[in-house]
Amino acid sequence: IIVILLIPTTIWGYISFKKNSVEDSVHDYLIDSGKQESDIVELEPFVANLSGNKNYMVSVKIKGDEKTYFYYKNESGDVILESTKTGDHVE
């Protein structure tokens, strides 16, 4: 019974760790790039169903910018902008 519970818990923990790690790296990247904390409206980590490190991404919304930005962290730990999506204007 312990093994049956341990496997899903371990998988969930790994996924949560990866998502939080990418979110923290993207947040630090944005601050280091000159964004103010108050300009960051939303950081949302998610599983992108892509291969490798692109599987764990973060969507970013910035105040006053209608685009949503999608970042991931590559093998060497660098934050990479994967794509953008035009959407609603964020205030």
Distance CA 44, CA 66 (A): 16
pTM recorded for the entire structure: 0.84
Q: Between residues 89 and 32, which one has the greater pLDDT? A: 32
The rounded distance, in Å, linking the Cα atoms of 24 and 46 is 13
Q: In what order do the strands lie in the sheet with 40-47?
A: 40-47, 56-62, 67-73, 79-86
Percent of the chain with pLDDT over 70: 95
How many CB atoms sit inside 10 A of residue 15's CB?
14
| Domain locations along the chain | 2-86
Confidence class for position 1, pLDDT limits 50, 70, 90: confident
Residue 66, classed as helix, strand or coil, is coil
For the stretch 14-57, pLDDT in tens is: 999 999 999 999 999 999 999 999 999 999 999 998 888 899 99
